[in-house]
Amino acid sequence: MCALFMDFPGDPNVAAIGDQYLSGPALVVASVTDQGATSRTVCLPSGADWYNYWTNERYKGGQTITASEPIDTVPLFVRAGSIIPLGKPILTTEQKQYLEKIKVYPGADGDFTLYNDDGKTYAYEKGDFHITDLHWDNAASKFTQKGSVARTIPDSQLVEVVGR
């Protein structure tokens, strides 16, 4: 988590915002903090386009919008060029985590390094882990990966390019 001004120092509109933050480099979180409110204003930093995570609607950065959100949904916006791997639901940490989907948000080139180990032992200290580099080439509209990914669904169903 970090304040918006740390990643967007050239955007004076985000300097004094204290109720929005970046979760990693890809997500702007704008919690609804007023009791009973179902919407709030959200400042989308300049220098990138942004997607509403829930609706996939694309917005230009450098503007303030009103995000309409029900009580059980946090306003969440994804930076264009981001790659977001999503895991299948699991009930306990004893279950192996498999990829359900990889969401790609076009608008810029993007990279993501996916790390995988057994999640239970120290075997990773002896090199028992897998690294997969994911890449989105925006100009070519092409997704590539290098390395190994354990998955249970075919590639054609695994990668979703948002807005296509």
Query: Which pLDDT score is estimated for 25?
Result: 94
Angle of CA points 48, 54, 60, to nearest 5°: 20
Residue 40, token pair as written in the block: 């709030």
Helices marked H in the chain: 4-7, 155-158
Max Cα distance, the chain (Å): 52
Average pLDDT of the segment spanning 108-132: 93
**What percent helix, strand, coil does the chain show, rounded to 5?**
10, 40, 50
Q: Token pair 């998955």 is at which residue?
A: 151
Query: Partners of 40 in the beta sheet?
Result: 67
Statement: the pTM of the whole predicted model exceeds 0.85:
yes
Q: How many CB atoms lie within 10 A of CB 137?
A: 11
Q: How sure is the predictor about 36, in pLDDT bands with cuts at 50, 70 and 90? A: confident
- Average pLDDT of the chain is 91
Query: Which pLDDT score is estimated for 71?
Result: 82
pLDDT, tens digit (0-9, with 9 covering 90-100), for 43-52: 999 999 999 9
CA distance 39 to 21: 17
CA distance 20 to 159: 29
Classify domain 83-161 at the CATH superfamily level.
Golgi alpha-mannosidase II (2.60.40.1180)
93 pLDDT exceeds 60? Answer: yes
Delimit the domains of the chain by residue range: 4-79, 83-161
Does domain 4-79 bear CATH number 2.60.40.1180?
yes
Topology match between the domains 4-79 and 83-161: yes
pLDDT, tens digit (0-9, with 9 covering 90-100), for 52-68: 999 999 999 999 999 98
117 pLDDT exceeds 60? Answer: yes
